[in-house]
Amino acid sequence: MTCRSCNHVRDLDLCRDPYLEAGSSQAWGCSNQECHTEYDTEEIEQALVCAVQRSSMQYILQDLACAKCKGVKEANLSKYCLCAGGFTTTHAVQAVRQRLVTFRNIARHYKMEYLQETVEWTLRMNPVDE
């Protein structure tokens, strides 16, 4: 996050932020000693929604690779690699699903309704058997 007041940059740890005030779940603020301006939680939520969408697109647009020789699939219609190996995804669907579940837990904890709705829609429209 970049503070709009002093331009101080820091990473937010959404699961265990040491700068959160005790008892307040949405008091993210600048960690600069002179500033302490609160961050816009809607901006944080929008950044998280963008991360969810990027994660989904990364999975959808990924390359297929040969399970045998690890070469990236070149021809769109070929069922097998030139080495006779089958193609598989380069990113596991379980890893993407776990990332989405983590985003859903963050949304529930911080009461980010738009993020929660986006994640739940993505999970609902792309069911994965575990």
Q: Which residue is it, tokens 């709705």?
A: 117
How far are the Cα atoms of 10, 45, 73, 111, 125 from residue 41, in angstroms, in the given order? 15, 6, 42, 10, 27
pLDDT at position 39 is 85
Triad 94, 95, 101: Cα angle to 5°? 85
Percent of the chain predicted with pLDDT > 90: 45
Q: What tokens does 31 get?
A: 């960690």
Q: Where are the domains of the chain?
A: 1-39, 41-125
Greatest alpha-carbon pair distance for the chain in Å reads 64
Q: For 17-46, write each residue's pLDDT tens digit.
A: 655 544 454 567 787 888 878 888 898 999
Residue 106 in this model has a pLDDT that exceeds 60: yes
Q: What is the pLDDT of residues 77-92, one digit of tens each?
A: 889 999 999 999 988 8
Percent of the chain, pLDDT > 70?
Answer: 89
What pLDDT is stored for residue 103 in this prediction? 94
User: In a 3-state reduction of DSSP, which class is residue 69?
Assistant: coil
